[in-house]
Amino acid sequence: MLASLTLLLGLPLALTTELPTCTPLVPVTFDSGTVPRLLGDWIYIIGASKYPPHLEELKVIKYAAFSLFPGSHEDEVNVMEIMRVNETCVVRNSSKIQVFRENSTLMHVDENVTAIAKLIQSDKDFLILNHFNGNFPGLSLSARTPNVSKEHLEEFRAQLHCLGFTDEEMFFTSEKYACPLPGEKTDEGDTESQAG
């Protein structure tokens, strides 16, 4: 009887306890200033994906930085990526991002592999992409510097939880695995980066 009474008295309290609210992801509506704001250097910070090929890639990337610069026309952005995949630094200069202004979508094309994403409204020093591949959600955060506040990281992690990701499905990169710039000498006097 006491257990039943405790359950009945505790139920209204449990029902009024608010669950964390999930802020909707609001895509950027592209205008003439959108692409110029994207140009420059970015550090990949954290990502999560349910899309199997992207998930496998996230598991092995320890660090990634990329630069976006103007392509051959206003709806194209060239990408240079420097990343540490397991223990090897890789440099890629061959990929492009196609900008589809009519539906505010970005499509990254790299060696016959495409990834489609919406740019999400955020602080100007953050690049949040909502990736979609069929019914597989994905979300990534890049920043102008590797120094993202704990508060911003917690907000992003909360958004990932809202999308159904667990902590085990979130993959962070670390500046301690940063690769030297192409042609830059390492402490051993060798160049470490490999073109890809």
Interatomic CA distance for residues 149 and 135, integer angstroms? 31
**pLDDT of 141 higher than 60:** yes
| % of the chain exceeding 90 in pLDDT | 67
**Cβ-contact 88, 190 below 8 angstroms:** no
DSSP bridge pairs for 89? 84
pLDDT, mean of residues 126-155? 94
* Average pLDDT taken over every residue of the chain: 84
H or E element: which one contains 192? none
User: For residue 15, what pLDDT band results from cuts at 50, 70 and 90?
Assistant: very low
What residues contact 196, with CB distance under 8 A and at least 6 apart? 90, 91, 92
pLDDT computed for residue 191 by the predictor: 42
What is the 3-class SS of 52-74, one letter each residue? HHHHHHHHHEEEEEEEEEECCCC
Query: pTM to 2 decimals?
Result: 0.82
